[in-house]
Amino acid sequence: MSEDVFILGINMTKFGKHPDLDIQDLGAQAAMAALADADVSMGDMGILAYGNLVGQTFGQQLQKQIGQTGIPVYNVQNACATGATALRTAIMAIKAGECDMGLAVGVEKLAGAGLLGAGGGGGSKDGHHWEPSGRVGAVATTDGRIGTQQMPGTFAQVGMEYLYKNDYEGTPFELFAKISVKNHKHSTLNPLAAYTKEMSLEQVMGDMMIAYPNTRPMCSANCDGAAAAVVVSAAKLKTLSAEQQRRAVKVSASVLTSDPWQEACQVLPDVNTLTRVAAKEAYEQAGVSPEDLDLVELHDCFATAELVHYDNLQLCEPGGAVDFFESGAPWRDGSTPVNVSGGLQSKGHPISATGIANIWEVCHHLRGEAGDRQIEGAKVGMAHVIGLGSACGVHILESSAA
């Protein structure tokens, strides 16, 4: 169980609209590109872990396009952490000694899906009112079609609660909008992002309000996309070429958590505790501290989420997320660059692909292959995803060869 695991190859499609490609086409594109990046074939794989949430498809269908070799297929669904969970599934199989190389794929088609789950969790005969029903409805407040049972309402409240608890005296709307300005600015250097348009503070604040204080540009963009990774054991890596070893990225920590029980989270999901626990475990596994991180890709499903996760991931002192942001630290030229890919708000959020796509971004910097957005000298990075339901995946990666 102590076997080290490395990412040998990784790739992602461009996120956005792909009307001419179905889910399996997108998944195959990412999978074959990851295999090519690793300089291996499907015949070398001992496991396929496949993540697809909304499309309800299976890895066995993907095999028909990338190779049916008889290996075990694990079909994974874990909210927005689906891709990260698929990768962790392949990592665990290697650590357990079941195989020495595996493939993880996350894919989704969400372009044009609109606000997922916007029905509010209940319905009425006339379709115009929200009525609580079932177990969740019994404890949920009747707060409209976009309320605390939906992601926009949840993360809006989470962000505002953080500011309230930490006695923030500024203007919340402007603060959170500035986070979105940062991510849209970063996206202009990422050719695979769904949106690569810089936006001014006025443009972000003046757009359609979704759930105060998040306007449309401050929300993750549903889109089509896929990402895939090939993982390999340390022992197997040593038998491969010098170039494969040079480009391999060590998985120093792989952690998955869910919400511990709390009375309050039966109504408003707690997105903080499971992330804090995952981060703590990841730092301990990797033997590094937050100060060692050269970049972080975190789950900015909303601008409000990014702020609270600065604190949850220990990138700042407890309660110090506002000061951390206002210091300029999370900009790509700051002390702890965050979401240099543009984040979910710009790069896009094809749910099941996001976890692996965040890792793709970190790997490219650790390999020195990130082009114009390269963080110079990057050696250690973190990728984080969180899904309501609940699931949090944190991976710490290092550019160290076997």
* Residues designated as active site: 80, 349
Q: What is the token pair recorded at 358?
A: 């965040």
C-alpha distances out from residue 85 to 27, 141, 272, 351, 401, Å: 16, 31, 19, 12, 24
In terms of Cα–Cα distance, which of 271, 296, 278 is closest to 383?
296
Omega of the bond leading into 390 within 30 degrees of 0 (cis)? yes
> If residue 362 lies in a helix (H) or strand (E), which one and from where to where?
helix 351-366
Q: Which amino acid is at 218?
A: M
| Residues forming beta bridges with residue 6, ordered by sequence position | 232, 250
Q: What separation in angstroms does the CA of 203 have from each of 185, 199, 200, 217, 250?
A: 13, 6, 5, 9, 40
Angle at CA of residue 74, ends 71 and 80, nearest 5°: 145
Task: Give the helix, strand, coil percentages of the chain, each rounded to 5.
Answer: 40, 20, 45
Q: Which of 165, 206, 166, 199 is CA-nearest to residue 183?
A: 199
CB 340 within 8 A of CB 295: yes
Sign of CA dihedral 374, 379, 380, 386: positive
